[in-house]
Chain A
Amino acid sequence: MSSPSPARTGSTPRPAPPDDTKLALLFIAPAALGFLVFLVWPTVRGIYLSFTRFNLLRPAEFVGVDNYTRMFADPVFWNALWVTLQYVVLNIGFQTILALVIAVMMQRLTQSTWLRGLILTPYLVSNVVAAMLFLWILDYQLGFGQVVLESIGLERIPFLGSADWAIPTIAFINTWRHVGYTALLIFAGLQTIPETVYEAARMDGSSEVSTFLRITVPLLRPILALGLIITVVGSFQVFDTVAVATQGGPVNATRVLQFYIYDLAFGRFQFGYASALSVALLLVLMAVTFVQYRLTRADSTDLD
């Protein structure tokens, strides 16, 4: 930047570069069209529907903020929000810590692509299959998991059949399925930390644990923050595991927000009210993401 470029100072201006705007718009168009049709339009329409009474077969009828008034007075909604929050805390807690440990081990202990790939396999299994699998393993009467518990001298545990266990169990099932993916994200982040930093740490006689806490974790912060934002948003939208394993029960113990919304819309044809709940979820997610973004300073790095 210090030396002025000849083009600026020269007396004969170079011809202006060709205008790329049209070509750029052409390239952006397909993605923009998809974004408008599949994301913006449904969101706008969903927000509109949240102010109506709508059962799909009859035209929507505008009812003002009735749906929102009902939402604030609906104990099942507040319960759903609370249950979802419990799930997110447990799920993200387990998952992030476990993924971090796995990722560091992948980097420090092995170079084998096979082994690294193996960590990702649960993620290749669909949510529904994973839920079915654990439904059988954990079945109170016939489950293999119960047989194992008994063989080591413990009592059978109604994992999916008791209000206290159901949410932790579902959080665990989804942790099992997603931890590999999160680990992979973090692993990619680890690769960006220059080896020279570690070399310096070794020279100074830093222990493995101390290196992890003082070098790896701080330098990994931006990637961890990004991973957290992605996984937290995904975690709030838990649905299929609940739909397969407990269907909201026992009573309302696992009636998470998405499952409640689904039941309202497709079971009870209350699309207006279901839309209002979806808008509430949207606002919650926006707030959570904003706070996370600010708290973790995800847009800056300490590597500079």
Chain B
Amino acid sequence: MRRRRTDRTRTRAATALALAVAVGSAVGLSGCAKGESAAGAGGTISYWLWDSAQQPGYQKCADAFAAENPGLRVRITQYGWDDYWSKLTAGFIADTAPDVFTDHLGKFAQFADLGVLRPLDDLQATKDIADDDYQEGLATLWKGQDGKRYGAPKDWDTVALFYNAKMLADAGITKEQVDSAAWNPDDGGTFEKMVARLTVDAKGRRGDEPGFDKNRVKVYGMAIDHGGGDGYGQTQWSPFTGSSGTGWQYLDKNPWGTRFRFDSPDVQKTLGWYFGLVRKGYMPPYEVTAGDLDKNKQLAAGTAAMTVDGSWMISTYSGFTNAAGEKTPIGIAPTPVGPAGKRASMFNGLADSVTTNSTQPENAAKWVKFLSGQTCQDIIGNAGVVFPARRSGTELAVAYNKRERNLDVTPFTEQVSEKSTFLYPVVYYAEDIKAILGPGMNAIYIGQEPVSAMTTFNEQINLLLSQRG
């Protein structure tokens, strides 16, 4: 599951707090929700997002929108990831959801199914949104099974390797080596050699040196978190499974697949190799990451040298400093080439959706049209936090990273230009699937279940999906 900038500790506390509030003062909550009611009169459009880092950019868009549309204005509200979805759900039930909100593919199917989203084709301003205006494949992800469009593409993301450049240099690994690394599930290829080399035990012995103590590791070659990958392993194992075999896909068809493919021998062999890195001491075991240690924190703390992570995390990684206040040198490399003969990255994107409980859908559609238009997406590109869905916006974001952060982010964009991406699985029962795969990946990460258990999980998921005729 893609989580933007979530800090697990904070998330947990926030969830608990939200619970306390929800349980303790249902009355107060509803009162407060009423006050923020979306159905804003007088042309005020309410808009929700979860990433605080993106709020300034979207505020600029809102200002530009107000200047272009006299009489209309946008009020932006930001909530952290967990609160965001529970408040949104509560809003749908109590008829207080915002006019427009930032939508995620992992949630979209359920919302479309519940009938809380308005088809954009039925609204004047958004009926002529063209798929071709956006990076290839993004727009079609947001069409429901009925063929109608429920979200206007706003940005996209892929994954790449973030590494600590100093640790790489210390290990004698060059940028060319990491850029051209390849992996395979048999001996791990040049990629595993590199990960082994980057791993250092308490006595300073590297993972590929004799006497390496895998139980006393100081720096792990690669980071891992979220109990082994929550479910789809987007920023953990997905670049490996995606480049395994002949280019593995999660589903028989995407979006709206009916069968998952975790029973494939290729993917199980790949997961076996991936979690084998934990047994070899090159990736931290479950005990270490169980608390609240996200991958970016492992790199920040210097307990890991490299990690797979998403493009939305660029500003987080590029901002690391050590205790002395010196900047941590961070480099970005593309995900390694796999047995499929190419690299692979999940391709995911966010979109803006209009809710059915909006009392001013036409105004809301104008704002959605503006958000998905060139003016706003160029503003977002220049803010440098995410890659906008339009090509020109993407180019601006690449230029921003080069100029302001001296960071080459082409490892992310290359996956798109070279068409080596696969899509985020869009299916019904997303939360139920997570309830099976989450603990399932956990068990495989810990070593409590063999990788072949994926076949059982796969059967359970497919049984769920088959209930929908």
Asked if A55 and B114 make an inter-chain contact with CB atoms under 8 angstroms apart, the answer reads: yes
Q: Tell me the nearest residue of chain B to A158, going by C-beta.
A: B287
- Which of B13, B110, B227 is close to A249, meaning CB atoms less than 8 Å apart? B227
Q: Which of B1-33 contact A (CB under 8 A)?
A: 9, 12-13, 15-17, 19-20
A267: chain B residues at CB < 8 Å are 431, 435
- Does A168 lie at the interface of the complex (its beta carbon under 8 Å from any beta carbon of B)? no
Can you name 26 A-B residue pairings with CB atoms under 8 Å?
A55-B114, A58-B114, A126-B20, A128-B13, A128-B17, A128-B20, A135-B291, A139-B291, A139-B292, A140-B291, A141-B288, A143-B291, A161-B286, A161-B291, A163-B446, A243-B12, A243-B15, A249-B290, A249-B442, A250-B290, A251-B439, A251-B448, A252-B439, A263-B435, A267-B435, A269-B431
Interface of A is mostly: loop
Q: Tell me the nearest residue of chain A to B429, going by C-beta.
A: A268
- Which of A126, A139, A244, A251 is close to B12, meaning CB atoms less than 8 Å apart? A244
Q: Tell me the nearest residue of chain B to A263, going by C-beta.
A: B435
- Does A247 lie at the interface of the complex (its beta carbon under 8 Å from any beta carbon of B)? yes
Asked if A161 and B227 make an inter-chain contact with CB atoms under 8 angstroms apart, the answer reads: no
Contact A250 to B293, CB < 8 A, known contacts A244-B16, A268-B431: no
- Does A240 lie at the interface of the complex (its beta carbon under 8 Å from any beta carbon of B)? yes
B115: chain A residues at CB < 8 Å are 57
A252: chain B residues at CB < 8 Å are 439
Q: How far is the CA of A241 from the CA of B431 in the complex (A)?
A: 23
Asked if A243 and B19 make an inter-chain contact with CB atoms under 8 angstroms apart, the answer reads: yes
- Does B116 lie at the interface of the complex (its beta carbon under 8 Å from any beta carbon of A)? yes
A131: chain B residues at CB < 8 Å are 16
Residue interface mask B272-302, A partner, CB < 8 A = 1: 0000000000000011101111000000000
Interface residues on A, range: 35 or more
Count residues of B near A (Cβ-Cβ below 8 Å).
33
Q: How far is the CA of A294 from the CA of B327 in the complex (A)?
A: 68
Residue interface mask A207-218, B partner, CB < 8 A = 1: 000000000000
Q: How far is the CA of A162 from the CA of B291 in the complex (A)?
A: 11
- Does A290 lie at the interface of the complex (its beta carbon under 8 Å from any beta carbon of B)? no
Q: How far is the CA of A244 from the CA of B93 in the complex (A)?
A: 26
B12: chain A residues at CB < 8 Å are 132, 243-244, 247
Query: Nearest Cβ in chain B — how far from A137, in angstroms?
Result: 11
Query: Nearest Cβ in chain A — how far from B121, in angstroms?
Result: 22
- Does B432 lie at the interface of the complex (its beta carbon under 8 Å from any beta carbon of A)? yes
- Does B234 lie at the interface of the complex (its beta carbon under 8 Å from any beta carbon of A)? no
Q: How far is the CA of A128 from the CA of B110 in the complex (A)?
A: 30
Asked if A251 and B16 make an inter-chain contact with CB atoms under 8 angstroms apart, the answer reads: no
Asked if A163 and B431 make an inter-chain contact with CB atoms under 8 angstroms apart, the answer reads: no
Nearest 7 interchain pairs by C-beta = A161-B290, A158-B287, A161-B287, A128-B16, A139-B291, A268-B431, A251-B443
Query: Nearest Cβ in chain A — how far from B187, in angstroms?
Result: 30
- Does A125 lie at the interface of the complex (its beta carbon under 8 Å from any beta carbon of B)? no
Contact A268 to B290, CB < 8 A, known contacts A128-B20, A251-B448: no
B13: chain A residues at CB < 8 Å are 128, 132, 244
Residue interface mask B324-355, A partner, CB < 8 A = 1: 00000000000000000000000000000000
Query: Nearest Cβ in chain A — how far from B295, in angstroms?
Result: 14
Q: Tell me the nearest residue of chain B to A248, going by C-beta.
A: B439
Q: Which of B287-321 contact A (CB under 8 A)?
A: 287-288, 290-293, 303
- Does B86 lie at the interface of the complex (its beta carbon under 8 Å from any beta carbon of A)? yes
Asked if A141 and B303 make an inter-chain contact with CB atoms under 8 angstroms apart, the answer reads: yes
Asked if B9 and A132 make an inter-chain contact with CB atoms under 8 angstroms apart, the answer reads: yes
Q: How far is the CA of A57 from the CA of B111 in the complex (A)?
A: 10
- Does A41 lie at the interface of the complex (its beta carbon under 8 Å from any beta carbon of B)? no
Contact A140 to B442, CB < 8 A, known contacts A128-B20, A244-B13: no
A55: chain B residues at CB < 8 Å are 114
- Does B92 lie at the interface of the complex (its beta carbon under 8 Å from any beta carbon of A)? yes
- Does A160 lie at the interface of the complex (its beta carbon under 8 Å from any beta carbon of B)? yes
Residue interface mask A100-139, B partner, CB < 8 A = 1: 0000000000000000000000000010100110010001
Query: Nearest Cβ in chain B — how far from A250, in angstroms?
Result: 6
- Does A78 lie at the interface of the complex (its beta carbon under 8 Å from any beta carbon of B)? no
Query: Nearest Cβ in chain A — how far from B202, in angstroms?
Result: 12
Asked if A160 and B114 make an inter-chain contact with CB atoms under 8 angstroms apart, the answer reads: no
Asked if B432 and A268 make an inter-chain contact with CB atoms under 8 angstroms apart, the answer reads: yes
Q: Tell me the nearest residue of chain A to B303, going by C-beta.
A: A141
A128: chain B residues at CB < 8 Å are 13, 16-17, 20
Query: Nearest Cβ in chain A — how far from B79, in angstroms?
Result: 16
Asked if A57 and B291 make an inter-chain contact with CB atoms under 8 angstroms apart, the answer reads: no
Apart from the given pairs A57-B116, A126-B20, A250-B227, 6 other A-B contacts in the complex at a CB distance below 8 Å: A128-B17, A132-B12, A139-B292, A160-B291, A162-B286, A244-B15
B287: chain A residues at CB < 8 Å are 140, 158, 161-162
B288: chain A residues at CB < 8 Å are 140-141, 161
Asked if A250 and B435 make an inter-chain contact with CB atoms under 8 angstroms apart, the answer reads: no
Asked if B439 and A56 make an inter-chain contact with CB atoms under 8 angstroms apart, the answer reads: no
B446: chain A residues at CB < 8 Å are 163, 250-251
B16: chain A residues at CB < 8 Å are 128, 131, 240, 243-244
Asked if B9 and A266 make an inter-chain contact with CB atoms under 8 angstroms apart, the answer reads: no
Residue interface mask A49-61, B partner, CB < 8 A = 1: 0000001111000
B448: chain A residues at CB < 8 Å are 163, 250-251
Interface centre among B20, B110, B115, B439 (most CB of A within 10 A): B439
Q: Tell me the nearest residue of chain B to A260, going by C-beta.
A: B435
Q: Tell me the nearest residue of chain A to B446, going by C-beta.
A: A250
A263: chain B residues at CB < 8 Å are 435
Q: How far is the CA of A135 from the CA of B12 in the complex (A)?
A: 11
Residue interface mask A2-43, B partner, CB < 8 A = 1: 000000000000000000000000000000000000000000
Asked if B442 and A251 make an inter-chain contact with CB atoms under 8 angstroms apart, the answer reads: yes
Q: How far is the CA of A36 from the CA of B187 in the complex (A)?
A: 67
A246: chain B residues at CB < 8 Å are 290
Asked if A249 and B439 make an inter-chain contact with CB atoms under 8 angstroms apart, the answer reads: yes
B19: chain A residues at CB < 8 Å are 240, 243
Interface centre among A132, A140, A263 (most CB of B within 10 A): A140
A56: chain B residues at CB < 8 Å are 89, 93
B439: chain A residues at CB < 8 Å are 248-249, 251-252, 255
Q: Tell me the nearest residue of chain A to B115, going by C-beta.
A: A57
Q: How far is the CA of A139 from the CA of B292 in the complex (A)?
A: 8
Asked if B442 and A250 make an inter-chain contact with CB atoms under 8 angstroms apart, the answer reads: yes
Q: How far is the CA of A244 from the CA of B82 in the complex (A)?
A: 13
B86: chain A residues at CB < 8 Å are 266
Q: Tell me the nearest residue of chain B to A157, going by C-beta.
A: B287
Q: How far is the CA of A193 from the CA of B447 in the complex (A)?
A: 55
Asked if B293 and A141 make an inter-chain contact with CB atoms under 8 angstroms apart, the answer reads: yes
B292: chain A residues at CB < 8 Å are 135, 139
A255: chain B residues at CB < 8 Å are 439
Q: How far is the CA of A152 from the CA of B439 in the complex (A)?
A: 35
A163: chain B residues at CB < 8 Å are 446, 448
Asked if B443 and A141 make an inter-chain contact with CB atoms under 8 angstroms apart, the answer reads: no
Q: How far is the CA of A268 from the CA of B86 in the complex (A)?
A: 11
Residue interface mask B438-457, A partner, CB < 8 A = 1: 01001100101000000000
Q: How far is the CA of A251 from the CA of B303 in the complex (A)?
A: 25
Asked if B435 and A268 make an inter-chain contact with CB atoms under 8 angstroms apart, the answer reads: yes
